[in-house]
């Protein structure tokens, strides 16, 4: 029977040899670390200087240590800092500064079409800041009227431009209208951005039927730039239920969010 | 609360400074690292001095601070483990020549070898081994400094010794290592 390797005399001897070497090395460590004498005065001098110089650093360090020990506080602090940054630090964003309404009058000429008169009518109709007229010479000829309309809901501008183009066509002046948003870069806080994107719609419901309320909400949503608004209003036992579905027009829409207030209260989402 | 008084701290520290500073070096990867540890412990003691009620227990109070700082540093010192193990352990001055020189070199090599082995232990086991084997503290004293029971200290000490022994066996001083002891840069033989 072979001897158990775990208890063999040879193994025990080697284990004790490791223990003996360890003991000798610990004694060597004791000697080696004692060779250079520790200097208390130097340590204290350095620390005095450090404590004078680094009182403020010390406070920062203690804050840092406290945050390390309490990660919850660190997370809350970071969240507060983020909110403050979002509230007060200006961010770059795009906004609709107005609209450019282009009315094409193909084949028009100063001789045959009262272009200047049309331009004045267009300016008044759209409440535009200015209307420029560009005449094209050549075989086809024609004119392009460009009106700059101040920022606001897009839908009424689009409706007015289309209506005017149809009216001109009815008078025998072929016309085509196009509305383009004028987009500009701006700086503003998150609050300012949200306020700009949010449109408040106030509805007075007292004395109105659900159908009238529906119609009013639809019209107001269209005014602020939402297309195909589907509104359902039901009244049951003194409570009113309003359901609204609408799509914001793409880039350059007047608003991306609307808040509807009925009789001074916000019914919720 | 009044600001702590450096003069009072120096008076209290003087009788224990040398031994505590040497303990700090023995707990650390290098003498310089140990001196940093001691400096941090003294600074912590300075800040906490107003809370010291019983002056007669200053030694135990200061050692407890030293061990706390040591454990904190061990926890946060991921990068410290890449610091070279020894720089000047064994003295700054010119190396002794002749027989003294040979002894000095052997001591330095042995100290580096055990320092490397100690560095692999968890901080509390390293403290137990150094305080018991080198500094001569009793198990009860170590328990009081570490804030641990006697049985916990005994367990830490036994585990620490066992791990050190196994480390030495891997170097060729026991059954797990090569039959012929390995000669390494640290001088295992």
Question: What does residue B119 show for φ and ψ, rounded to 5 degrees?
Answer: -65, -20
Closest CA to B131 of A26, A31, A34: A26
CA distance B75 to A223: 64
pLDDT at A92 over 70: yes
Does A151 reside within a domain?
yes
Of B15 and A118, which is predicted with more confidence?
B15
A62 CB within 8 Å of a chain B CB: no
Domain ranges of chain B: 1-84, 103-189
CA distance A230 to A189: 33
What is the fold of B103-189? Arc Repressor Mutant, subunit A (1.10.10)
Its CATH architecture, for the domain B1-84, is: Orthogonal Bundle (1.10)
Same domain, A129 and A160: yes
Of A196 and B135, which is predicted with more confidence?
B135
State chain A's mean pLDDT as an integer. 77
What confidence tens digit (pLDDT) does each residue in A1-43 have? 444 444 566 666 666 788 889 999 999 999 988 888 888 888 8
| pLDDT at B21 (0 to 100) | 95
pLDDT at A80 over 60: yes
| pLDDT at A126 (0 to 100) | 83
| Count of structural domains, chain A | 3
CATH number reported for the structural domain that contains residue A140 in this entry: 3.30.70.120
Q: Collect all residues of chain A within an 8 Å Cβ-Cβ radius of residue B39.
A: 43, 46-47
From A1's Cα to the closest Cα of chain B, the distance in A is 21
Does A5 reside within a domain?
no
Does A175 reside within a domain?
yes
| Helix %, strand %, coil % of chain A (to 5) | 45, 30, 25
Same domain, A71 and A98: no
Same domain, A170 and A212: no
Q: Collect all residues of chain A within an 8 Å Cβ-Cβ radius of residue B21.
A: 38, 40, 43
Same domain, A77 and A97: no
CB A222 within 8 A of CB A155: yes
In sequence order, what are the residues at sequence separation of 6 or more whose Cβ sits closer than 8 angstroms to the Cβ of residue A21?
A: B168, B173
Same domain, A118 and A166: yes
CA distance A170 to A175: 10
Domain span at residue A144 reads: 93-188
B27 CB within 8 Å of a chain A CB: no
Strand duo A257-262 + A198-203: pairing:
parallel
Same domain, A73 and A111: no
Does A31 reside within a domain?
no
Q: Identify the bridge partners of residue A248 per DSSP, sorted by sequence position.
A: A226
| pLDDT at A5 (0 to 100) | 45
CB A145 within 8 A of CB A122: yes
CA dihedral A142, A147, A152, A157 (to 10 degrees): -30
State chain B's mean pLDDT as an integer. 80
Same domain, A198 and A239: yes
pTM for this model (two decimals): 0.48
Closest CA to B187 of B165, B168, B166: B168
| pLDDT at B59 (0 to 100) | 93
Does A107 reside within a domain?
yes
Does A29 reside within a domain?
no
In this predicted structure, which of A105-119, B39-53, B153-167 has the lowest mean pLDDT?
A105-119
- Which 41-100 residues of chain B touch chain A by CB within 8 A? 42-43, 46, 88-92
Of A88, A112, A137, the domain-final residue: A88
pLDDT at A254 over 90: no
ipTM passes above 0.85: no
């Amino acid at each position: 029977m072979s001897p158990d390797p775990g208890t063999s005399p040879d193994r025990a001897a080697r284990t004790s040899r490791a223990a003996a070497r360890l003991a000798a090395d610990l004694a060597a460590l004791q000697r080696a670390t004692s060779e250079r004498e520790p200097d208390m005065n130097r340590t204290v001098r350095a620390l005095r200087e450090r404590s004078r110089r680094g009182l403020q650093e010390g406070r920062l360090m203690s804050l840092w240590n406290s945050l390390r020990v309490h990660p919850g506080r660190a997370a809350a602090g970071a969240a507060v800092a983020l909110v403050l940054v979002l509230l007060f630090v200006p961010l770059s964003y795009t906004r609709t500064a107005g609209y450019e309404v282009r009315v094409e009058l193909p084949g028009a000429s100063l001789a045959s079409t009262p272009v200047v008169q049309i331009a004045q009518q267009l300016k008044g109709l759209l409440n535009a800041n200015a209307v420029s007229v560009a005449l094209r010479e050549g075989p086809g000829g024609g004119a392009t009227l460009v009106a700059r309309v101040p920022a606001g809901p897009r839908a009424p501008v689009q409706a007015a431009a289309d209506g005017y183009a149809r009216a001109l066509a009815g008078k025998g002046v072929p016309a085509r209208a196009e509305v383009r948003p004028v987009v500009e870069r701006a700086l503003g806080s998150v609050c300012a951005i949200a306020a700009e994107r949010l449109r408040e719609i106030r509805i007075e419901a007292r004395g109105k039927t659900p159908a009238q309320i529906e119609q009013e909400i639809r019209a107001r949503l269209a005014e602020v730039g939402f297309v195909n608004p589907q509104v359902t209003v039901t009244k049951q036992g003194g409570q009113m239920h309003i359901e609204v579905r609408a799509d914001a027009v793409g880039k350059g829409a007047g608003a991306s969010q609307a808040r509807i207030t009925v009789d001074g209260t916000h019914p919720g989402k | 609360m009044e600001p702590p008084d450096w003069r009072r701290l120096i008076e209290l520290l003087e009788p224990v400074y040398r031994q505590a500073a040497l303990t700090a070096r023995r707990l650390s990867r290098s003498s310089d690292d140990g001196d940093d540890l001691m400096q941090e412990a003294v600074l912590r003691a300075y800040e906490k001095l107003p809370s010291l009620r019983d002056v007669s227990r200053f030694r135990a109070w200061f050692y407890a601070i030293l061990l706390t700082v040591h454990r904190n540093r061990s926890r946060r010192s991921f990068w410290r483990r890449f610091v070279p193990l020894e720089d000047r352990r064994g003295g700054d001055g010119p190396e002794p020549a002749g027989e003294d020189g040979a002894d000095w070199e052997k001591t330095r090599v042995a100290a580096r070898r055990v320092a490397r082995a100690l560095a692999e232990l968890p901080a509390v086991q390293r403290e137990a081994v150094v305080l018991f084997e080198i500094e001569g503290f009793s198990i009860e004293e170590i328990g009081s400094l570490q804030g641990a029971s006697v049985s916990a200290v005994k367990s830490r000490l036994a585990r620490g010794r066992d791990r050190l022994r196994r480390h030495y066996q891997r170097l060729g001083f026991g059954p797990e290592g090569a039959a012929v002891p390995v000669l390494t840069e640290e001088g295992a033989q």
